[in-house]
């Protein structure tokens, strides 16, 4: 489902426990930003806001595409929970944006929108990103020299 059609929640609200796959429900271990959801649980340690940009025609990307790379350096054992994604692009042609973990490959697709010009998603179920994994936002269909911007608002959690 495109990110613009799945808007719910608040990006800066209290920490939300991840779903426990064995029970199908969320678990919380109490206050202080701690969240359950597994034998070891998660502790939210920070709330972050990151903005990146790119341009069509950049080296190493196909014509008509724009890549914006986000490489968190949170360390092993940390997890980023992307709560909000905002995209915009000044292309004169319609664009779409796909988000990939690690490399651009179908099996690494974790989110997308068919409206790359301007879109917003408050992720009801956050996108989980290990603390050292590259996240690539790729616009397709961009006109020559178009610029694109992506903003991620996320929680940093540790195991």
pLDDT in tens, 84-104: 999 999 999 999 999 999 999
Q: Name the residue range of residue 106's domain.
A: 43-158
Instruction: For residue 154, tell me if it sits in a domain.
Output: yes
- Would residue 47 count as lying in a domain? yes
Between 99 and 14, the more confident residue is 99
The reply to whether 80 falls in a domain is yes
Is residue 72 in some structural domain? yes
In total, how many domains does the chain have?
1
Whether residue 57 lies inside any domain: the answer is yes
What is the structure's pLDDT at 40? 58
CATH number at residue 96: 2.60.120.20
Say if 8 falls within a structural domain.
no
For the stretch 90-143, pLDDT in tens is 999 999 999 999 999 999 999 999 999 999 988 888 999 998 999 999 999 999
92 lies in a domain? yes
Read off the tokens for 91: 């292309």
99 within some domain = yes
């Amino acid at each position: 489902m495109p990110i613009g059609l799945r808007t719910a929640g608040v990006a800066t609200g209290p920490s939300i426990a991840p779903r426990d796959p064995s029970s199908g429900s969320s678990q919380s271990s109490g206050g202080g930003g701690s969240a359950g959801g597994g034998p070891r649980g998660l502790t939210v340690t920070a709330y972050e806001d990151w903005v990146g940009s790119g341009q069509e025609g950049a080296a190493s990307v196909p014509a008509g595409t724009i890549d914006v790379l986000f490489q968190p350096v949170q360390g092993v054992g940390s997890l980023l929970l992307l709560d909000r994604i905002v995209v915009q692009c000044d292309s004169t042609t319609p664009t779409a944006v796909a988000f990939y973990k690690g490399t651009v490959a179908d099996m690494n697709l974790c989110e997308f929108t068919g409206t790359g010009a301007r879109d917003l998603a408050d992720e009801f179920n956050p996108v989980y990103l290990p603390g050292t994994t590259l996240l690539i936002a790729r616009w397709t269909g961009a006109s020559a020299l178009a610029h694109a911007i992506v903003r991620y608002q996320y929680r940093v959690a540790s195991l």
